[in-house]
Amino acid sequence: MQPRSAKKIIADAEQLCIQRGVRLTAQRAEVLRLMIEHPHAISAYDLLDKLRISEPQAKPPTVYRALDFLLEQAFIHRVESNNSYVVCPHFDHPSHSSMLLICDQCASVTERPAEGIENGIKEQASVSGFTLRHSIIEAHGLCQACATILQCDDQEHCHHDHKNITEPKRKPGRA
């Protein structure tokens, strides 16, 4: 995945909105920009806090309406299992199926293609006579960076930021 600048992502979104005959208002664009600048998945309330810096009168419905719009246009994904939102790295392909790999430590979300998995879900749905409308595949665990820090045994000499990492259990004999 090529890292794209916030400007470029918003310009792409604007272009798609024009093609679709919908309006990316200044407020919707601002919510998208705040999400792009946030490195991880973000909750609606954290988003509201950030939005209030530029729009002090913003209320929860302001954010939810903007999020609904961005979801409808498939510019963002909702992370169902922790009730947060993340920008889709390839929203120019609207009908892609993807799985979200969610880090339980830092809340980073990595999006991976899910074609193979999707077929399995479709198959199982059809066996049950179930009409599938949409499915979200979410997997929880540790991202590579967090896993490395958690496995680190040399906190005195390493260059990791161990502050925000909660160790599941301490090794016996260590302070």
Distance CA 27, CA 24 (A): 8
Nearest approach, Cβ of residue 64 and Zn ion (Å): 20
Nearest approach, Cβ of residue 3 and Zn ion (Å): 16
158 binds Zn ion (CB under 5 A): yes
Length of the chain: 175
Nearest approach, Cβ of residue 53 and Zn ion (Å): 26
What string marks each residue from 83 to 122 as x (binds Zn ion by CB under 5 A) or -? -----x---------x----x-xx-x--------------
Indicate which single residue of 6, 44, 101, 152 sits in contact with Zn ion (rule: CB under 5 A): 152
Site of interaction with Zn ion (CB under 5 A): 88, 98, 103, 105-106, 108, 143, 146, 152, 158, 160
